[in-house]
């Protein structure tokens, strides 16, 4: 959201943000001053933060739901008593309750309502297998369809969401626009390592959506092949993986604390290969993980235990290698091949740079969003990703 906020301001829009105090993956992480190094954002008068209790929501689905409901109620209270006028309300999910606040804001401000879908709710709940109450899932499904239909436009960060939303809610495809996770131009950087040692990196969530059993097998096999791997991780399954590493005395693993995006991209640039792993569940076949964009922005070949849309993107654009059946031995073979063939790594880095500059730059993609704000526009199709329609908007 930082990029959207900053680029909209550059384009001359007056932007207000209603959000919470940061708490993901945990609130204490943000006590470090390095997460508050942008004074133009920290002190901005148009950024409003609601305070919520510091629940350990990551370890309890009930607490997580209560957390989301509390946020939504406080945001609803803010909206109802806000005296400002807005032309557009832009709401980002996955928390479905926040989107409902967006519907109220649409009515109150008499504005357009743009719903940004970053995860499929409640499908993702079923996908992680920890919440299967059929009545609550049914309620969420009804609310989900209601929100899709109430939105003037729906923004998706993975083209894989398109068919699901159209089939589920019967909305017109023309109101759905693909604006993916992206990099800024200054973040795009081909790896220029000075360290001669070959190293692999895994960054991001180690939770219910990630294949932790695969990661255990991977770090063990990398140890057997004397390959170093750095893990910058957080999430519900983090300790399970870290305990496995400790119990097996895997000296090839370096564990780093979660850090800022800027520092993480710098860390990527010190490595040779990026690892991606998602559970083998149908709901994850539609997603486009942000870390995939980060790896490609850093010029890293990606070795991935994924299927569906992410697999197609990697293979069709030749930005890495995929094991759809989540075979750690196969992934290690890819890593060893990359280690022994620096010219292949360079070719993949070039492919990644070309793809990022063509499809995944915020400076370009923000225009798709701003066109939704205006009243007169028309659709045109541009280079489809993976034979799917990617709709751009032009005034």
Same domain, 336 and 368: no
Same domain, 77 and 66: yes
CATH classification of the domain holding 163: 3.40.50.2000
Q: What are phi and psi of 50, to 5 degrees?
A: -95, 145
Residue 43: what pLDDT? 67
Report the distance separating Cα 268 and Cα 262, nearest Å. 10
pLDDT tens-place string over residues 305-334: 999 999 999 999 999 999 999 999 999 999
Q: Coil, strand, or helix at residue 331?
A: helix
Residue 26: what pLDDT? 58
DSSP element (H, E) containing 69: helix 61-81
Number of domains in the chain: 2
Same domain, 109 and 194: no
Strand partners, 200: 229, 273
Same domain, 261 and 157: no
CB atoms within 10 A of CB 59: 9
Q: Which has the closest alpha carbon to 200: 144, 275, 286?
A: 275
Same domain, 46 and 141: yes
Q: Encoding tokens for residue 327?
A: 């075979």
Q: Coil, strand, or helix at residue 229?
A: strand
Q: Is the dihedral of CA 159, 161, 166, 171 positive or negative?
A: negative
Task: Give the domain extent around 350.
Answer: 185-358
Residue 273: what pLDDT? 97
Same domain, 6 and 54: yes
Instruction: Evaluate whether 88 touches 373 at the Cβ level (below 8 Å).
Output: yes
Q: Which residues of the chain have pLDDT under 70?
A: 23-43, 54-61, 94, 127-131, 190-195, 375-395
Same domain, 171 and 22: yes
């Amino acid at each position: 959201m930082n990029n959207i906020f900053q680029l909209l301001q550059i384009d001359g829009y007056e932007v207000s943000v209603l959000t919470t105090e940061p708490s993901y993956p945990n609130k204490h992480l943000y006590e470090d001053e390095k997460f508050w190094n942008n004074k133009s954002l920290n002190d901005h008068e148009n950024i409003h933060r609601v305070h919520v209790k510091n629940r350990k929501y990551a370890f309890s689905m009930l607490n997580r739901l209560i957390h989301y409901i509390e946020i939504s109620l406080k945001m609803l209270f803010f909206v109802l008593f806000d005296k400002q006028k807005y032309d557009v309300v832009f709401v980002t999910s996955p928390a479905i309750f926040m989107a409902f606040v967006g519907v109220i804001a649409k009515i109150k401000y008499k504005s357009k309502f743009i719903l940004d879908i970053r995860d499929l709710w409640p499908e993702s709940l079923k996908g992680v297998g920890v919440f299967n109450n059929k009545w609550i899932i049914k309620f969420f499904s009804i609310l989900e369809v209601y929100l899709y239909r109430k939105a003037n436009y729906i923004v998706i960060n993975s083209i894989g969401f398109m068919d699901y939303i159209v089939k589920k809610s019967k909305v017109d495809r023309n109101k759905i626009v693909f604006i993916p996770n992206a990099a800024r131009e200054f973040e795009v950087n081909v790896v220029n390592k000075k360290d001669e040692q070959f190293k692999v990196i895994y960054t991001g969530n180690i939770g219910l959506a990630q294949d932790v059993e695969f990661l255990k097998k991977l770090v063990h096999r990398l140890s057997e092949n004397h390959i170093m791997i750095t893990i910058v991780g957080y999430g519900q399954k983090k300790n399970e993986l870290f305990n496995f590493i400790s119990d097996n005395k895997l000296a090839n693993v370096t564990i780093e604390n979660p850090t800022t995006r800027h520092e993480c991209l710098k860390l990527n640039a010190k490595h040779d290969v990026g690892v991606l792993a998602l559970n083998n569940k149908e709901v994850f076949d539609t997603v486009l993980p942000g870390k995939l964009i980060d790896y490609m922005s850093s010029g890293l070949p990606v070795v991935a235990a994924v299927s569906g849309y992410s697999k197609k993107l990697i293979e069709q654009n030749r930005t890495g290698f995929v094991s759809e059946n989540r075979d750690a031995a196969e992934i290690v073979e890819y890593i060893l091949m990359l280690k022994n063939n620096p010219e292949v790594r360079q070719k993949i880095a070039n492919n990644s740079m070309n793809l990022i500059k063509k499809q995944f730059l915020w400076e370009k993609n923000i225009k798709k969003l701003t066109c939704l704000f205006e009243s007169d526009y028309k659709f045109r199709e541009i280079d489809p990703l993976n034979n799917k329609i990617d709709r751009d908007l032009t005034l």
